[in-house]
Amino acid sequence: MGREPGSDRLTESGLPIEPVYGPEDLAGWDPQEKLGEPGEYPFTRGVYPTMYTGRPWTMRQYAGFGTATESNARYKQLIANGTMGLSVAFDLPTQMGHDSDAPIAHGEVGKVGVAIDSLDDMMVLFDGIPLDKVSTSMTINAPAALLLLLYQLVAEEQGVPADKLTGTIQNDVLKEYIARGTYIFPPKPSLRLIADIFAYCRAEIPKWNTISISGYHMAEAGASPAQEIAFTLADGIEYVRTAIAAGMDVDDFAPRLSFFFVSRTTILEEVAKFRAARRIWARVMKEEFGAKNPKSQMLRFHTQTAGVQLTAQQPEVNLVRVAVQGLAAVLGGTQSLHTNSFDEAIALPTEKSARLALRTQQVLAYETDVTATVDPFAGSYVIEKMTDEVEAAAVELMRKVEEFGGAVNAIEHGFQKNEIERNAYRIAQETDAGERVVVGVNRFKLDEEEPYEPLRVDPAIEAQQAERLAKLRASRDQAAVDAALAALRAAAEGTDNVLYPMKDALRARATVGEVCDALRGVWGAYVPTDAF
């Protein structure tokens, strides 16, 4: 969270940061080449000409816990408090494609997100929420296709046409192999499934963002800002290559790609990071893939404040951290933002802490002047120099990924994971030595922490979900479910788009676990190699 001030201070990426910057640091620097105009190539200054001067970013609060009923109530509270978009957190069994009554799910049902086992749960989750008026982001990866189709089926029940649906599925499985671990299938069929999602959404849900290529979880695992954007953009390149190899034109799907980054407390480097990422992606899409549509060249991204920087000690201090991190995201030009709640290092956020997190964004949007002008830091000696330096460091890492033959091959050799772990170790050493100050942890500590009562998830939820599943299986047309799952397996064995039979199976009340098991039976389950 920053070293003590000094002449030898380094950025989070390990790059020197000087006490003073001046014109000499930008000698020979071409503003037109490096910046352009806001909303124009290379999009350094932002993807839209007016940015927040016309309207603020989307305030999207991440929430989900326990049962669909409990999460539905929290979503309605957030909407009433001014949230512009929902962001759904799913529990670990759902993320891993297991039903709540599966033995492997024991003890995890509803803990880190909402438990979704079937269309019935999804209908409860969005009961009373008009899906043609609310944008929804779903943090789901390996089973992303299932949750997207469940969302579409709920919309059909509401009478909302698919072309009115807006939102995002994270759908970024490559970072799961690198940093997070909630994978199901091996890389090759996982990439095939992502290509099928791209094609399905282009035909059926045209306004949906089909993937949110994520650096956030890499950063939470210890990646530096340069590593975060390098490995995220390298994954993005792999997805683009996969879609093109499947026969799609780059300008048919690239405008629906989006990204997801962290925002740390180090404001200057974070602003530089976001600007550098836009510039790199624009150049890659134009020069490597020949994208002609400007929307294909734009790096649009969601940001979440840095959960890993929150502390259980003196948790109220996290309010300050989150405000600083949110400001960095806004100054960096994010399209949407989730601000963490101050108590998340202890437990799931309470209703009050979630409201305070949203109010933080509203203060930034409506009480400060950062929305009055586009890219406020443009031309700053330090910001432009740091943008160039972060860009150069990221490009060098991307070159190393390419030497392995691309992101998947680099993953199989453990390259990204090893690089991130090396950086995480550096950070841990600096913190332990007191070189990196963490307020309330290694400096400015209290002799005794004040008591705090966190939100707790009722363990009875697991039994309740199991009971719901038993009733579902007893009441559905089992022959229809079996036929739909057989059709899904046949599509997975061949080359047909698997989302169409998958949707039929989910409509027939096949469960998330049953659908994922059908695909496991064809594609297998991923087991990490020794290189990891």
Q: Are 216 and 262 in contact (CB under 8 A)?
A: yes
Max CA-CA distance within the chain? 75
Q: Are 63 and 71 in contact (CB under 8 A)?
A: yes
What residues in the chain have per-residue pLDDT under 50?
A: 1-6, 531-532
* 280 Cβ contact list (under 8 Å, min separation 6): 229, 233, 391, 394, 395, 398
As a whole number of angstroms, the distance between CA 192 and CA 239 comes to 10
Nearest CA among 183, 147, 191 for reference residue 168: 147
As given in the structure block, the two tokens for residue 528 are 């990490």
The amino acid that residue 525 corresponds to is A
Count of CB atoms within 10 A of residue 55's CB? 12
Q: Are 276 and 45 in contact (CB under 8 A)?
A: no
- Give the pLDDT score at 61: 84
As a whole number of angstroms, the distance between CA 309 and CA 58 comes to 23
As a whole number of angstroms, the distance between CA 61 and CA 364 comes to 15
Q: Are 150 and 124 in contact (CB under 8 A)?
A: no
Nearest CA among 97, 91, 173 for reference residue 519: 97
- The torsion region of residue 429 among left (phi > 0), alpha (psi -120 to 50) and beta comes to alpha
Topology at the third CATH level for domain 37-432:
TIM Barrel (3.20.20)
